[in-house]
Amino acid sequence: MQGEFIEKPYLWGLDPLFHAHVKIVAKMLQHMIPGRGTGLADPPVWFYSFVNKAPPRPIRLVAIGGVVVQKHEYKKTTRFLLDDGSGCANCMYWNDSYRDVVGEDIHIELGQFVHVLGRLEWRHGHSTIVASRVQIARSANAETNWWNDLTSVHEKIYSKPFKLPLPSCQNAESTN
């Protein structure tokens, strides 16, 4: 099933994680397998096995939380390094499009805990999260809450292996 699932992009959308922002830690980025895109216009797909010896699941969108430890502002982009305690994740956002989509400028500073939602891409030789949303945490408990949510969702949802649904004709035959 693993090979069948990875080699057939039309099946990826059946996995609910394919359409959701999957909460990850930076260390997971080292173990994700880049998938072949279904076309030039399609966003990249990555595969990650949440359960040992289980087939990897397709991931397009990610959510990560961490402390900003490095920041570089350029004319068109802002790049920053997020440390979540398990490792560091490269993140970036397009200055103009972020302002247009979200309707506000974002001013992240070193040492701030931020939540990043975005898509995972391969840029400059490493995986990078291209942010669609960056939220600066205002609560003193933000990091603790993030880790509680992360462990809970990994335990309750991500650790359950995904099984392809039976084709409707086989399903109808099994009920007769």
Q: How many degrees, rounded to 5, is the angle at CA 14 between CA 13 and CA 16? A: 85
Q: Which CATH architecture is the domain 2-160 placed in? A: Beta Barrel (2.40)
> pLDDT tens for residues 38-75?
444 456 888 888 877 777 888 889 999 999 999 999 98
DSSP string, the chain: -HHHHHH-GGGGGGSGGGGSEEE--HHHHTTPEEPPPSSTTSPP-EEE-SSTTSPPEEE-EEEEEEEEEEEEE-SSEEEEEEE-SS-EEEEEEEHHHHHHHHSS-----TT-EEEEEEEEEEETTEEEEEEEEEEE--STTHHHHHHHHHHHHIIIIITSPP-PPPPHHHHHHHH-
> pLDDT tens for residues 125-135?
788 999 988 99
pLDDT of residue 157 exceeding 60: yes
Q: Determine contact, residues 112/67, Cβ cutoff 8 Å.
A: yes
Q: What is the pTM of this model?
A: 0.81
